[in-house]
Structure 1
Amino acid sequence: MAKKNYDELAKQIVASIGGAGNVNSLVHCATRLRFQIKDPAKVDKKRLSQTEKVITVVEAGGQLQVVIGNAVGDVYDAILATSSIKAGDMDRDDKKSGDKNIINMFMSTVSGIFAPILGAMSGAGLLKGLLILFTTMGWMSTDMGTYRILFAAADGVFTFLPVFLAYTSAKRFKADPFVSVAIASALMYPNITAAFAAKESLTFLNIPVVLVSYTSSVIPIILSVYVLSKLERGLRSILPDIVKNIFTPLLSLVIMVPSTFLVIGPVSDFAGKMLAGGYTALVSVNPIIAGFILGLVWPAAVMFGLHWGFIPIVINNISQYGRDTLFTITGPNNFAQAGAALGVFLKTKNKKVKDIAGPAALSAVLAGITEPAIYGVTLKYKKPFFIGAFFSGIAGAITAAVGAGAPTVLGTSLLTLTGYIGVGFAGFCAACAIAYFGSAICTYLFGFSDDMLLEETITETSADVVKQEEELAAPVNGTILSLSEVKDPVFAGGGLGKGSAILPDDGTFYAPCDGTVETAYHHAVGMMTDQGAEVFIHVGLDTVKLEGKFFELFVKTGDRVKKGDLLIKADLNSIRQEGYDVTTMVLVTNSNDYADILTTEEKKAVAGNCMIRCIPR
């Protein structure tokens, strides 16, 4: 794909998410763009998911995740180059984004810290696997200079992982990145490392220091940087401007380094040991059952982008025990989904399906990238996905039973299998083979047929019936405005569709037509009419930041409503007093399906009277 096409794709994605101004932050992982969105109601998810080169769109972990596949890095660069979105830029209103779910906050934090370094970790992990193969085959010995230099390249990332995490944590928590790195460097300073190895007794101001190994650790530096971010804000608020730039980093180091050695480090190291011990205990109770359950549910975790949230556990396992079994147990899922995609590829006679399933199966088995296989093939036809999940569970049970593990973070694929050489390696290889061939054979025999394509075509055809002229009533009394008068570039520019705006006289909003509720927020409701028009009512500008305050919602997603049914009640006076514009937009988000969207020439809107006409092609 040419670079200029990435630029065009980037512009389409930004337009579909409501513009650059609707983005709090953007990072990416191996296959996904991960957006923190200000107002979810401004996102045209359907248009986004139908964009060419976008595999699918997932809302999970407090993020809007746009699955791209292997080209995600290029698309990410194009978005930064063609829009005002900044890399990892967390807006100061991030806390007001409405995402207060503790699980979503945790997932968002983990992905923000680990996603930027996943590429380096994956490359280093693959290199470690190759070195294991070379030494096992006798092609290299561990005392060779070549081996030692390559091993330094492979192991350096993990040995000095706290330095990497210090920087990404600082970006996430808005702490000084170089002070954060300085703290991480102090934790691994050679003199301190030697003291730990020699089991010396150290004190700080006569307070005993509990020395622990911070090499390859995860939790201590993340907690330390989080505390640093709070400390820096406090120092900047009390220090005079003339000395702030000098004394803030000075005091930060003087306070945080001892605090980490005395309190944060030992406490988090203990927590890490408990976490690793807890996971090990759960698996050891019944490895076969635990492995089966982990393998079975892992495809769903990948589907929602939650799998990277387990990276702290994986790295902590490696730090505590020198190896990890969690990603090893779940690793054969890559082979299972690859096999299911291969089964579809071999069974179908449809060239378009083959063109999708073949590369997706190859990407999953060679590189361990399963999103194209899951979203483009197996989940689309359902049975292949569940067949893959079942064999992923079978393989997980086998892997757990033989006790296989890996000494580094690895994405399981043919290229990385050598990284698992050691205890249970033969059983692990057998599990991967069972997952791959079992999924492929079962999918081929009874998990897929081209009849599914016929059903899909019928569904798509029924969804694309010829549009009829429709009338949409005003949802509220008020003064009619043109969209160009709206003080928001996304609405004013027609980014979410054509329509009209109303400056409401009261706060009671009714359904403008018969239809089904597709999205329901306190400040916005999306509907699909029986004739196929996608209608969107958005009360006020930036009112998502009120988090439902002053609003009362009377419908939910999936409800059938009639024209004139109550949708929303809003306290407009209180909303205005909070400084918000209450202009309400009524849009047809699939305007391109119509020849034109016409607005009444009347200046006054009367709830229930015709305001918009959708003219078919």
Structure 2
Amino acid sequence: MDHARLAKDIVKYVGGEENIISIGHCTTRLRFKLKSIDLVDKIIISKLPGVIKVMYIAGQFQIVIGTEVNDIYYAIIKMTQLEGTKNKESRKEDESLLNKAIDVISGIFTPLLGTLAGAGILKGLLIVAVSLGMLTEADGTYIIWHAAADSLFYFLPVHLAFTAAKKFGADPHVAVAIAGALFYPDLMDAYNQESALSFLGIPVVLMRYATSVIPIIIAIYVMAKIETVLNKVYPKTIKKFFTPLSLLAIMVPLTLLIFGPIGNAASEWLAIIYSYAYDTSALVAGALLGASWQILVIFGIHWGLVPIALNNLSQFGQDSFTAMITPAIFAQAGAALGVWFKTKQRKVKAIAAPAAIAGLFGVTEPAIYGITLRFKKPFIIGCIAGTIGGAIVGVSGASSKSVGLPGLTTLPIFFGDGFVLFIIGIVVAFLFALIATYLFGLEENTENEMVAELEDQSQEQNKQVDASIVHSPLTGPVLRLEDVNDDVFSSEAIGPGMAIIPIEGNMHAPFSGSVTSVFPSNHGIGLTSDSGIKVLIHIGIDTVQLEGKYFNIKVKHGDKVEQGQLLGTFDIEAITKEGFDITSPVVITNSHEYLDVVCSDEENTKAGDRLLTIVK
């Protein structure tokens, strides 16, 4: 996958950088907050190589990429000015409260998911190592690795302060300073010693902020509102210093006096509500989560429930929520594998195998959108299997000891009470989905429809690629047009394209089409492809003065040509000895009919290589 090219195309077809308010990503999706959804070309984006699916959900335009989403995200950040944007313009249409809530939650938490998952895996492995007697908690090796695994979670409010500030459009460095104050040694000592503390005579309720979630989010939200006001009040000459000064002086006391206690109370109530649902019937809770989790994935709102898992870890030191959704993930992988075993179609197998593998490692979107949802029955069977497995895990009492994306690599974080029954629940869900899909989940007519659809897509893509590529007519180093020593070409007055410094005196047809013009002096030729692309090949700069000397054109106006056909020859040595620059522009003269002309990023080209791509 060409990450840079896909990133550029995505930005273009979501309406350009100016239409993007913010961009984020989770494990498989790019999540855009846009000014206007009307500017998005969903059809073109959905057909881009590497894009699995597009959707507009919860106030976000989401593009499902798969496991390479992180590379695409950073490619977009690299080519734009979007990182750290404070653009607060909102879309014109109103958003529901639910959409806003999901947008805020995903915007704050999804940037941390990859690191949280990695730290969770390390923590799980340490739990196993201690349980098996390979390490003890007093070992230096354990202490250092545990610090690496637990630091992100322990200082979670600091990280959330940063991501929340970026989400709310506030100064992230001031936000981190506010969060850091909550961990300051003097305050920690006062908490540990249960000392009485007051601010301007007002008693401070000291509490432990490590691993907490809600207090800092409330604090940074309020901080963002106050910062907006202060930036309007203070003159430009002093606001750079006085706004941070005021925020630190105001927000740290307010957080300790108000937002901390309120947020802590909210966390406790959320934990109580979850505990009540779980304690009332763990079997029912597990079954409901197992049945519904992949449905939430389809709508892209599953990451909105991440705070539940984090809050459980903060309040209880463990989390059963993540455990109960794990069988649903393995069930979709099992269903995709069942399709792989059952189908005889190679095209279906080619999609099902990698989708099943990705599902085993916790990424189910390729399985859902590529296989199970396409065939419908496998998806339903996967949800049923998730229900059964979730119920078993609910009864097991298993829980995670850290945050992690459920999958094969993160199973160690569930090690402990109920682990054996937890594994049984996963295996039951996986095997049930695999076997039931193999026996009942695949219908021949549906399978044939999918194969026909894949073939149609392949033919359409091949047709588009063949029609949109301008192959190099020459061999040699490549230059951008702006570097050509000719104002007409460098200004792109004739059209966009590239220039080649030929090292061989052979000119070939860049595509199949017809000859529309041959210059009287034979130094240039115009061609039109079968799909309508018009190209001008100009050998050398100012070589019209040679009046045809050293050029031998083998075609004439109106001739049909095939891609790669020799169009003519020229004597490079003789032309350069006459004092002429041999740099040869290749330009698209009807570029106004297309969305874009994408140049190759190679420094050298050979005749027949891709030189230009025309975006229709």
* The two structures share one fold, judged by TM-score above 0.5: yes
Listed as ranges, the matches of 1:25-424 within 5 Å are: 25-82=22-79, 84=80, 86-87=82-83, 89-94=85-90, 96-365=91-360, 367-424=361-418
Deviation, structure 1 residue 219: 0.6
Instruction: Indicate if the aligned counterparts of 1:28 and 1:116 stay in contact, CA closer than 8 A.
Output: yes
The secondary structure found in structure 2 opposite 1:216 is: coil
- Structure 2 unaligned spans of 5+: 461-592, 595-616
Corresponding residue to 1:426 among 420, 430, 444: 420
Deviation, structure 1 residue 384: 0.7
Indicate how the Cα distance of structure 1 residues 206 and 463 shifts in structure 2: closer, same or farther if over 3 A, else same: closer
Partners in 2 of 1:205 and 1:404 — Cα distance? Answer: 47
Partners in 2 of 1:88 and 1:59 — Cα distance? Answer: 23
Partner residue of 1:534? none
The secondary structure found in structure 2 opposite 1:332 is: helix
Deviation, structure 1 residue 91: 2.4
Deviation, structure 1 residue 17: 2.0
Indicate how the Cα distance of structure 1 residues 462 and 179 shifts in structure 2: closer, same or farther if over 3 A, else same: closer
The secondary structure found in structure 2 opposite 1:140 is: coil
Residue type of the alignment partner of 2:33: Q
The secondary structure found in structure 2 opposite 1:27 is: strand
The secondary structure found in structure 1 opposite 2:439 is: helix
Moved more, 284-293 or 148-157: 284-293
- Structure 1 unaligned spans of 5+: 467-590, 593-617
Deviation, structure 1 residue 440: 0.6
Residue type of the alignment partner of 1:434: V
Deviation, structure 1 residue 380: 1.2
Partner residue of 1:22? 19
The C-alpha deviation readout for 1:210-261, integer Å capped at 9, x for no partner, is: 1111001111111111111111122222223443222221221111111111
Instruction: Indicate if the aligned counterparts of 1:26 and 1:85 stay in contact, CA closer than 8 A.
Output: no
Indicate how the Cα distance of structure 1 residues 129 and 465 shifts in structure 2: closer, same or farther if over 3 A, else same: closer
The C-alpha deviation readout for 1:435-480, integer Å capped at 9, x for no partner, is: 11111111111112443221335678999999xxxxxxxxxxxxxx
Partners in 2 of 1:19 and 1:39 — Cα distance? Answer: 11
Partner residue of 2:505? none
Instruction: Indicate if the aligned counterparts of 1:126 and 1:416 stay in contact, CA closer than 8 A.
Output: yes
Residue type of the alignment partner of 1:299: Q
Identity of aligned residues (%): 45
The secondary structure found in structure 1 opposite 2:150 is: helix
Partners in 2 of 1:368 and 1:99 — Cα distance? Answer: 34
Higher RCO (CA 8 Å, separation ≥ 6 residues): 1
Partners in 1 of 2:456 and 2:146 — Cα distance? Answer: 59
Larger Rg: 2
Partners in 2 of 1:119 and 1:290 — Cα distance? Answer: 27
The normalised TM-score by structure 2 is 0.72
Instruction: Indicate if the aligned counterparts of 1:323 and 1:405 stay in contact, CA closer than 8 A.
Output: yes
Deviation, structure 1 residue 14: 2.5
Deviation, structure 1 residue 154: 0.2
Partners in 2 of 1:123 and 1:462 — Cα distance? Answer: 40
Partners in 1 of 2:33 and 2:41 — Cα distance? Answer: 15
Provide the alpha-carbon RMSD of the alignment.
2.2
Partners in 2 of 1:28 and 1:294 — Cα distance? Answer: 24
Listed as ranges, the matches of 1:543-554 within 5 Å are: none
Residue type of the alignment partner of 1:387: I
Partners in 1 of 2:161 and 2:405 — Cα distance? Answer: 23
Indicate how the Cα distance of structure 1 residues 361 and 458 shifts in structure 2: closer, same or farther if over 3 A, else same: closer
Number of aligned residues:
463
The secondary structure found in structure 2 opposite 1:171 is: helix
Instruction: Indicate if the aligned counterparts of 2:124 and 2:401 stay in contact, CA closer than 8 A.
Output: no
Indicate how the Cα distance of structure 1 residues 438 and 43 shifts in structure 2: closer, same or farther if over 3 A, else same: same
Deviation, structure 1 residue 110: 1.1
Instruction: Indicate if the aligned counterparts of 1:110 and 1:309 stay in contact, CA closer than 8 A.
Output: yes
Indicate how the Cα distance of structure 1 residues 312 and 449 shifts in structure 2: closer, same or farther if over 3 A, else same: same
Partners in 1 of 2:424 and 2:407 — Cα distance? Answer: 13
The normalised TM-score by structure 1 is 0.72
Moved more, 193-202 or 224-233: 193-202
The C-alpha deviation readout for 1:393-413, integer Å capped at 9, x for no partner, is: 111111111211112111111
Residue type of the alignment partner of 2:255: T
Corresponding residue to 2:440 among 442, 446, 454: 446
Instruction: Indicate if the aligned counterparts of 1:27 and 1:88 stay in contact, CA closer than 8 A.
Output: no
Instruction: Indicate if the aligned counterparts of 1:27 and 1:87 stay in contact, CA closer than 8 A.
Output: no
Indicate how the Cα distance of structure 1 residues 294 and 230 shifts in structure 2: closer, same or farther if over 3 A, else same: same
The C-alpha deviation readout for 1:332-366, integer Å capped at 9, x for no partner, is: 1111111011101111111121111111111111x
Deviation, structure 1 residue 85: 5.3
Indicate how the Cα distance of structure 1 residues 88 and 446 shifts in structure 2: closer, same or farther if over 3 A, else same: farther
Partner residue of 1:506? none
